[in-house]
């Protein structure tokens, strides 16, 4: 067993969090029960281009997300390194005095370890092709695939596996 995998296993075992092997977007059952809520959202509306920023509508939705989560006790914020994901997370990070931590969507085990280490509710900003796997990774039922035009659904994955969805508009 690799050193990183062993460290993740020991961390999760110590937290009494059931872990099943598999990748977040592989279609296999993968579940890491977080001790607190894991809020997951796709980045908001984006402009065109290779690494686009948010549109005015997307930036307004990022502000709405910050307002919705400001009193939820979020302790850490994770986003991919894309401009649109970082900009979606930025208003909440600024409001709470947190930094946005970049994560690699190809390394769900690494993200799960960082979420566990946060010790409280977290926000994860993903993409249309990663959000369903992230919901499943943290113990929720895998939602239907997102299309390229699906923006603004906040998934609150509870420690018992319930998934509460809310629009961010």
Q: Which of 42, 36, 76, 73 is nearest to 158 (CA)?
A: 36
Please indicate whether residue 87 or residue 169 has the higher confidence score (pLDDT): 87
Q: Taking the domain 3-167, which CATH number applies?
A: 3.40.50.1240
23/152 Cα distance (integer angstroms): 25
3-class DSSP state for residue 117? helix
pLDDT score of 20 more than 60: no
pLDDT at residue number 32: 72
124/61 Cα distance (integer angstroms): 15
Q: How many CA atoms lie within 13 A of 98 on its CB side?
A: 24
pLDDT band at 10 (very low <50, low <70, confident <90, very high): very low
Q: What is the pTM of this model?
A: 0.82
Of 2-11, 52-61, 70-79, 145-154, the range with the lowest mean pLDDT is 2-11
pLDDT at residue number 14: 33
Please indicate whether residue 40 or residue 19 has the higher confidence score (pLDDT): 40
Residue ranges covered by each domain of the chain: 3-167
Bridge partners of 77, per DSSP, are 100, 123
pLDDT one-digit tens code per residue, 25-54: 444 445 676 668 999 999 999 999 999 999
Please indicate whether residue 169 or residue 3 has the higher confidence score (pLDDT): 169
pLDDT at residue number 22: 33
Element (H, E) at 77: strand 76-79
pLDDT one-digit tens code per residue, 62-112: 999 999 999 999 999 999 999 999 999 999 999 999 999 999 999 999 999
136/47 Cα distance (integer angstroms): 28
Of 20-24, 94-98, 162-166, the range with the lowest mean pLDDT is 20-24
pLDDT score of 134 more than 90: yes
pLDDT band at 9 (very low <50, low <70, confident <90, very high): very low
């Amino acid at each position: 067993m690799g050193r990183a995998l062993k460290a993740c296993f020991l961390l999760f075992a110590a937290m009494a969090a059931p872990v099943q092997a598999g990748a977040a977007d592989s279609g296999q059952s993968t579940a890491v029960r977080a001790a607190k809520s894991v809020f997951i959202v796709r980045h908001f509306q984006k402009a065109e281009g290779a690494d686009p920023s948010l549109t005015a509508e997307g930036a307004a939705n990022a502000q709405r997300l910050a307002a919705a989560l400001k009193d939820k006790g979020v302790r850490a914020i994770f986003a991919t390194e894309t401009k649109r994901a970082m900009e979606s997370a930025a208003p909440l990070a600024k409001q709470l005095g947190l930094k946005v931590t970049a994560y690699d969507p190809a390394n769900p085990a690494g993200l799960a370890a960082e979420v566990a280490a946060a010790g409280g509710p977290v926000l994860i900003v993903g993409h249309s092709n990663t959000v369903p796997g992230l919901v499943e990774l943290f113990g929720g039922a895998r939602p239907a695939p997102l299309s390229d035009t699906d923006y603004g659904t906040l998934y609150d994955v509870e420690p018992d596996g319930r998934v509460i969805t809310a629009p961010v508009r």
